[in-house]
Structures are given as C-alpha cells and as structure tokens.
Amino acid sequence: MGTYAVTGAASGMGAASAAVLAEAGHTVIGVDLRDTEIIADLGTPEGRASAVEGILEASEGALDGVAAVAGVGPDMKDPAAVMSIDYFGPVALLEGLRPALARSESGRAVAVGSNSATTVPFIDQTLVDLALAGEEEAARGRAVQGQEEVPDKVRAFAPSIGAYATSKFALARWVRRTAITPRWGREGVLLNAIAPGAVLTPLMLGSTGTAPDPDSFNTPMPLGEFGRPEEIAFWVHQFLRPEARFTTGSVLYVDGGTDAALRPEDLPTAMTP
C-alpha cells in the first residue's frame, strides 16, 4: 500500500478522492483549510510552504502520489485570489513534492483543472504567460484587470470567470510542459491532469446557488445529467495507480461530453508542416 497526499480533501472531489484511496488501503494525507490532517491555505506562499513541509513530515519524505484537487470557483469575488489558489497553489505544491515522489518507484501526480479552460471564451493570454513565468504578483494584478473586460451580465453571476478559466488553462499547459521534462519524466514521476465539467460539488453549487436543470444549463450536457464527485475520484485513482506507467502529460476531460459538444472539430487536430 502507498502514501498519497490529497489537497481539498475536506469536501467535494478532494474528499471523494481521499475516500477512494483510503478504501483501497492507502495512507492518505489530507490538506485543506479545515477538517484534514494538514491545515494550510494554498492561496499564499506561506501556506503552500507549510503544506509541503507538513506532507513531507507526515510521509517521512517519500510519497507514492499527489492529487492536487483544491480550488475555488468563478463565484469568488476576488479574481486575484482565484489565480493564486487555482494556479499557483497546485504548481507550488507539486513542485515542492516532486523530490518525494521521485523517491518512489512509481511516483504519480494529478492536477484537477476544469473544462472551463476550453469552453469559456475569456482566456487571457497575457495572464497565462505571467502565470507560466511564475510572476504571481503581476498575475494577480492582471487577473483583476482582465475581469473588468468580461461583460457585465457575465460578471453578475461569475465575478471571477476570466481568472478562473485562465488559471485552469494555464494549469493544463503547465502540466503538459512540465510532465515531459527530464526532472519529472526521466525520474519516473508521471504528471497528468483531469478537466472536470459540471460536477455537483460545493464549488459548483456556490456558483449556481442550487442544482440547475441539466437541459437548461449554460453549456451543453449531452448525457442529461451532472457529474458526481466520486466519478472524478475514480479517474484520480486511475492516474495515481502504479500500473498507470505510460501516461504522462495528458489532460483527460471528464465532463459528460460538454467539451466535445462545443468543439467537436477541435480535437484531434493534425500537426501542420
């Protein structure tokens, strides 16, 4: 049995992921703002450092896997905080824990993003570039500025939608870029991402207030139903299994077909000469 760290473990997809791993017999180190083994705020550099330190102490410096699930939604009123929590939080945590994962013979890491990265038309490329360059303070300022460019009627129900979608886009790109570098791939640490769609979690309900009708939702729901946290947890578990040895740099959409419905011709896209 292995030792796994799960952020956002107090509720939603993080709690479901922690439960699946524990039921499989693994030791789970939960991280969240409450009700977990490690209490830390991943929205701040100090909180991230504290989380990494606590995980390393609890695991005695060796980890089999990390699931970076913690995040906030587009209903949060502070776009800067969304950027810090949803992008800089998981990146710092995963980077900080990479050496511990490398000590395992089958280190695995998975970051939970969102299909909003490809289904929301408010991606700010300048903000993406700042995030990938590690410029957190500049990114926080740009997140606030960029949200002002989102139409008022959208900001009314999703005050941080631009920062949210952009943070998830940047996270997916970071995973793709990072997974194939020697310090990850050649050291046996596999890194992938999951892009959930509309899943009935406290985060989603915080954005919508109540569970809406799937057929009147603001994005297509081809299956006619919303996802459940345990359905995301299933794929988190699969990516963290030692047997998942030939998959890295992947972004798996677990969204009931929403991305495919909105962009059926975008993937696969042939490489041009």
Q: Could you list the active site residues? A: 164
Helices then strands, each counted (H, E), the chain:
13, 7
Q: At what angle do helices 229-240 and 12-23 cross, to 10 degrees?
A: 50
Own/partner long-range contacts of 16-22 (Cβ < 8 Å, ≥24 apart): 16/228, 16/229, 16/230, 16/232, 16/233, 17/67, 17/69, 17/232, 17/233, 17/236, 17/237, 19/230, 19/233, 20/230, 20/233, 20/234, 20/236, 20/237, 21/67, 21/237, 21/240
Give me the residues paired with residue 191 across strands. Answer: 109
Sheet order of strands, 38-39 included: 38-39, 27-32, 3-7, 65-68, 108-112, 190-196, 251-254
Rounded Cα distance, 65 and 100, in Å = 9
Q: Are 237 and 252 in contact (CB under 8 A)?
A: no
Rounded Cα distance, 6 and 24, in Å = 14
Rounded Cα distance, 212 and 108, in Å = 35
